[in-house]
Amino acid sequence: MSSSSALRLRTAVHYAKTKGRFPTPLLARTFASSVPRAAINKVVDSAEAAIEGLEPNDTLLCGGFGLCGVPDTLINAVRAAPHITGLTVVSNNAGIVGSGLGLLLESQQIGKMIASYVGENKLFEGQYLQGKIDLELTPQGTLAERCRAGGAGIPAFYTPAAVGTVVQTGELPLRHTPQGTVAKYTPPKDVKVFGGKAYVLEEAIKADFAFVKAWKADRLGNVQFRYAAHNFNGAMARNARVTVVEAEHIVEPGEIEPAAVHVPGIYVKRVVQSTTPKNIEKTVYAKSKDEQVSGALGTGDAASKRERIVRRAAKEFKNGMYANLGIGMPMLAPSFVGPEVEVQLQSENGILGLGPYPQKGEEDPDLINAGKETVTLAKGAAVFGSEESFGMIRAGRIDLTILGAMQVSARGDLANWMLPGKIKGFGGAMDLVSNPANTRVVVTMEHTDKKGRPKILKQCEFPLTGKTCVSRVITELCVFDVDFVDGLTLVEIADGVTVDEVKAKTEAPFKIADDLKPML
C-alpha cells in the first residue's frame, strides 16, 4: 500500500471513531492539500450592493477633504436610497452645494454632522441654523484622532487641542430651534493635567459604516491611496463595522506592493469600482511672483499694508525649519524668502514638502493644500494621512506656524475661527496652536478691523482658538512680542509710524523695547 493510500485509510478510520470531529493536527493537513478552496473576493458588482445593510440612523464615516478623496460613487448610491435617513455622518466637511455630502444635505438624509469645518457651504449652514440638522464641531486633528482611536480599540484620549475654548467648556451650539435660537449645547469635557499641562478628554468615534475612496484596491481588500487623497480615508477605513472601499483601480492580489498597502484588507468588507469623476474645488495655477502677490494682496492702500506684513513675516523663516502656513497672507510669505533659506512646508491635510501651484493643465485633484487649492509637491516630499499629520503637529514637530487672526489678547490668546453670526468651523487651527512651547505661533493681521476698531485687545471678545499661544504679532504698523505672563512688548515699528499711533490703535497695554527697531 502506498503512503498516500495508507494516509487516506488512517484518516477514514479516525473520522469514523471521532464522528467527523477532527483534532487540530488532521485539520491542519487539509490546508496543505491540493483540494481547491473558494478564493476570498470582497469585490461587489454595484454601489447598491456595496451599501447593503446601511440603515436609517446609522453612523457613517465618510473620507475626503474638500472634494479630494471623496467616495462620490457610494454617496450617490445613498442619495438613490431615500429611505436611508437620519444618518450621523462624520467627515471633515460636508462637501459643497451639489457635490459630495452636499447631495445628502439636499436630500435631507443627514440628521447630524460631526465635522471640523462648515466652510462656504451655505446649505449646511442654513440647515444647521434652522434646526434641521445637528452639528458637533470638532477640531480637525481631534476628529482624525477620534476616528483612529475608535478603530484601535481606545475608547477615549486626552489632547492639548482646544483647552480653554468652547469645545472644552461645552458652549458650542449642537442644535437650534426653527427660529434660530440655541436648543442644545455640547456638554463640557473633562480636563486633566499631565506634566504641568492641561489636556481635554475626547471620546473615540465608533461607526456602523465607513465610505472610503482609494486609488487601488484588490479583491482581498488591500488599499492604496494617492497623494493627498489619503486624508481621513485611512483612519476611517480602520474604524467601522462595515468598511466599503470605492477604488479607481481594482487589481489582482500582488499588484499592490506589500510596502505600499496603506490599509490591510483585514479592515475592509467590500470593494466596488469607482464610477464618478474626481472634482477640484479651487483650481489655482502658477503665476509669476509679482502676479501671485499682487493678486492675493488686493489693490490700493490695503495691498501696501498687507505686503508690508507679508514681507516682515518672511523674516520668521530660518534655514531647516518645518513650517505650517494658514491661508491668505501667511501663504504668501515664502515668496519673499531668499534662496539661501530652505524651509519644508507642511499642509495639515497630509503633505510635508508642499510645492508651488501647478502650471495650467498639470493640476491634479489628488494634490491640494489645506485651503483646497491645487498644488504640487517639492522634491523629497512625503504624503500621509490626517491622523499622522496632526500627530506631528500636536507633538511639536512643526517649528513655526503663521496664522491670520481676528483678535489677539495681551497674554497671547488667539481668536480666528468665528465671527458673530457666521459659522465656519475650526479647521486645524486649534491643533496648530496646541503646543506653543515647541511650535512658535506667529500671527499676521491688519492692526484694526474694517471699522477701525483695535484687534489687539486686553481680552478677546470672540470665541478662542487657543489660550496663551501666540508668540509674536505682525501688523502693518509694528511687531509685538508676547509673554504669556507679562504681556506685550513693542519690538519693531514701521517706517512713518509713531508709538502714539500704535497706542491709539491698540487696546491692550504694552511695553516698549529698549532697542526698538525698524520693522523692515
- Using alpha carbons, select from 341, 307, 343 the residue that is nearest to residue 324: 343
| Cell numbers describing residue 452 | 477701525
- Using alpha carbons, select from 242, 272, 273 the residue that is nearest to residue 50: 272
Give residue-wise pLDDT tens across range 396-424: 999 999 999 999 999 999 999 987 777 78
Neighbours of 40 (CB within 10 A): 11
- Using alpha carbons, select from 21, 24, 490, 65 the residue that is nearest to residue 235: 65
Number of H helices, E strands in the chain: 15, 26
Q: Are 519 and 478 in contact (CB under 8 A)?
A: yes
Give residue-wise pLDDT tens across range 454-472: 999 999 999 999 999 999 9
pLDDT for 4 equals: 44
**Pairing between strand 173-176 and 209-218?**
unpaired
**Which letter does DSSP use for residue 64 in this model?**
-
CA distances from 266 to 40, 223, 243, 257, 270 (A): 11, 10, 10, 16, 11
Give residue-wise pLDDT tens across range 121-174: 889 989 999 999 999 999 999 999 999 999 999 999 999 999 999 999 999 999
- Using alpha carbons, select from 387, 312, 401 the residue that is nearest to residue 145: 387
Cα dihedral sign, 27-32-34-38: positive
Reduce the DSSP state of residue 299 to 3 states and report it: coil
Q: Please give the mean pLDDT across all residues of the chain.
A: 91
Q: Are 233 and 65 in contact (CB under 8 A)?
A: no
pLDDT for 424 equals: 84
Active site residues: 348
Sketch the domain layout of the chain as residue ranges. 47-273, 289-518
Give residue-wise pLDDT tens across range 94-109: 989 999 999 999 999 9
Q: Quickly list DSSP for 168-206.
A: HHT-SEEEE-TTSSEEEEPPP--EEEETTEEEEEEEPP-
Dihedral angle computed from the Cα positions of residues 44, 47, 50 and 54, in that order, rounded to the nearest 10 degrees? -170
| Cell numbers describing residue 270 | 467590500
Give residue-wise pLDDT tens across range 231-254: 999 999 999 999 999 999 999 999
CA distances from 457 to 41, 197, 275, 330, 462 (A): 62, 25, 52, 22, 11
pLDDT for 28 equals: 40
Angle between helices 140-151 and 386-394 (to 10 degrees): 120
pLDDT for 370 equals: 94
Reduce the DSSP state of residue 271 to 3 states and report it: strand
Domain 289-518, second-level architecture:
3-Layer(aba) Sandwich (3.40)
Q: Are 474 and 442 in contact (CB under 8 A)?
A: yes
| Cell numbers describing residue 262 | 496603506
Which listed CATH number (3.40.605.10, 3.40.1080.10, 3.10.450.50, 2.30.40.10) goes with 47-273?
A: 3.40.1080.10
Give residue-wise pLDDT tens across range 364-377: 999 999 999 999 99
Instruction: Provide φ and ψ at 285, rounded to 5°.
Output: -105, 160
Q: Are 14 and 24 in contact (CB under 8 A)?
A: no
CA gap 362, 285 in Å, rounded: 9
CA gap 483, 491 in Å, rounded: 12
**Which letter does DSSP use for residue 357 in this model?**
P
Whether pLDDT at 111 is above 60: yes
Same fold across 47-273 and 289-518: yes
Neighbours of 117 (CB within 10 A): 27
